[in-house]
């Protein structure tokens, strides 16, 4: 378990800042074309939680790909 060594699951996503970073990342990955201007406050919040933001982006992109595959399968 070299990758997960030192990670405490009891503190994983236990603050609102961490959840906010994951949700912001997910939305940025799922809706990349709706990206607006990022406020300085949001930049500051996400800077400290980038390790939660990036997986959120990946999850958002994966969810968007699955969504569009489902749409194309239903239509065609």
Report the predicted TM-score, pTM, of the whole model to 2 decimal places.
Answer: 0.75
SS3 31: coil
What is the distance of C-alpha 13 from the center of its chain? 12
Q: Are 13 and 22 in contact, with CB atoms under 8 Å apart?
A: yes
Query: Residue 32 corresponds to which tokens in the numbers above?
Result: 């990349």
**For 35-76, what is each residue's pLDDT tens digit?**
666 777 777 877 788 888 888 999 999 999 999 999 999 998
**For 2-18, what is each residue's pLDDT tens digit?**
555 666 777 778 888 88
């Amino acid at each position: 378990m070299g990758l997960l060594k030192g990670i405490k699951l009891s503190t994983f996503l236990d603050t609102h800042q961490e959840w906010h970073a994951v949700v912001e990342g997910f939305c940025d990955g799922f809706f990349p074309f709706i990206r607006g201007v990022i406020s300085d406050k949001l930049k500051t919040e996400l800077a400290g939680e980038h390790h939660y933001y990036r997986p959120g982006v990946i999850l958002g992109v994966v969810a968007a790909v699955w969504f569009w595959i489902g749409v194309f399968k239903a239509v065609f």
